[in-house]
Amino acid sequence: MQKVLLYLHGFRSVGLCYKGKQIASFAPNSLTPNLSYVPDLAIAYAEELIKKYGAQNLCLIGSSLGGYYATYLAEKYAMKAVLVNPVINAYKTLLPAIGQVNVSYNNTSFFWSLNLVESLKKYFVDSITPELYCVLLQSGDQVLDCRIAAQKFKDSKLIIEEGGSHHFDNFTNQKDTILFWAKK
């Protein structure tokens, strides 16, 4: 049975961003919510959806910060997850972003504070269950060093494409991989 895909977008993004729209096009029953910029609220909302649909009926797809969240949720609920250029140490990676942050997808902004950065620490997963993850990386990611994610998920299904970007160029080329992973 095909699981419902729950897409968790990245920092400064929205549910129906580039990847969210692509996911919705090839998996019409997917969920692509707009997550709060407040980490605790984003996790709480994702957990509401997991409880509503049942962890066994969902497959997480997390991009960037959403990949960080998906890792936490996959471990907590023993769920399959596809991670796309995931953040590994969000509280370190997003520390320099403190200040007013613009979201270009919907012309909004929010204030990213040290307290919000600190709140990310509780969602850090030190030891993963490798068989839960399919990790999609592009070496041309200009935001995150893909080698860090490759090391953390070295025992998981790992696809590293040369070039590309943090945006994950040609994301739709991974449609079959994502749908296959969601069936497992």
Query: How many domains is the chain built from?
Result: 1
- pTM summary value: 0.96
Kindly tell me the burial class for residue 14, based on how many C-beta atoms sit within 10 Å of its own C-beta (0-12, 13-18, 19 or more).
middle
Span 49-63, mean pLDDT?
97
pLDDT, one tens digit per residue, over 5-49 is 999 999 999 999 999 999 999 999 999 999 999 999 999 999 999
How far is 135 from 105, CA to CA, in rounded Å?
A: 25
pLDDT beyond 90 at 96: yes
Under a CB-based contact definition with an 8 Å cutoff, are residues 134 and 177 in contact?
yes
| Confidence bin at 134 (pLDDT 50/70/90) | very high
For the domain that residue 173 is a member of, what is the CATH number? 3.40.50.1820
If pLDDT is split at 50, 70 and 90, which confidence band does 97 have?
A: very high
pLDDT at 184 over 80: no
In angstroms, the CA 93 to CA 96 distance is 7
The SS3 call for residue 41 is helix
Whether 80 has a pLDDT exceeding 90, the answer reads yes
Mean pLDDT computed over every residue of the chain: 95
Dump pLDDT digits (tens) for 158-177: 999 999 999 899 999 999 99
| pLDDT beyond 90 at 145 | yes
- Tell me the residue range of the domain where 62 lies: 4-183
